[in-house]
Amino acid sequence: MVRGYRRTWWRGDIIAGLTVTAYLVPQVMAYAQIAGLPPVTGLWAVLITLPLYALLGSSRQLSVGPESTTALLAASVIAPLALGDPSRYAALAAALALIVGVLCLGAWALRLGFL
């Protein structure tokens, strides 16, 4: 069990998790489409990243999830480079996600979380 976690929080956390899931599923599908990707891409992205943050994140108050601004920025960067090729678009989106992940890991390793 997570250090400092109280059993009395369990019920509220389950309700909160179900509530977030109810709005998160359509949200991630829509943001994937905004980014120019198939809707299922949003589901896969959130299935991997949110549990990782739940296990490794340091803030209980931080809301982690997709954002429309990020989706629009990704689309605006990737679309011109993809040259209309959907498979190239998907590969570039994956590369962008990996680059951002590596940068975040680098910031973590350098203890830049205080910024």
Query: 80 pLDDT exceeds 90?
Result: yes
Query: How does DSSP classify residue 112?
Result: -
Mean pLDDT of the chain: 86
Task: Tell me the per-residue pLDDT of 59-76, one tens digit each, with 9 for 90 and over.
Answer: 777 777 778 888 899 999
SS3 17: helix
Type of residue found at 88:
R
Q: Give 115's pLDDT tier (boundaries 50, 70, 90).
A: low
Sequence ranges of the domains in the chain: 7-109
Distance between CA atoms of 16 and 22, rounded to whole angstroms?
10
pTM of the complete model? 0.71
SS3 67: coil
Q: Tokens standing for 74? A: 């990704």
Angle, CA of 10, 65 and 62, to the nearest 5°: 60
Q: Which of 57-66, 76-85, 105-114 has the lowest mean pLDDT?
A: 57-66
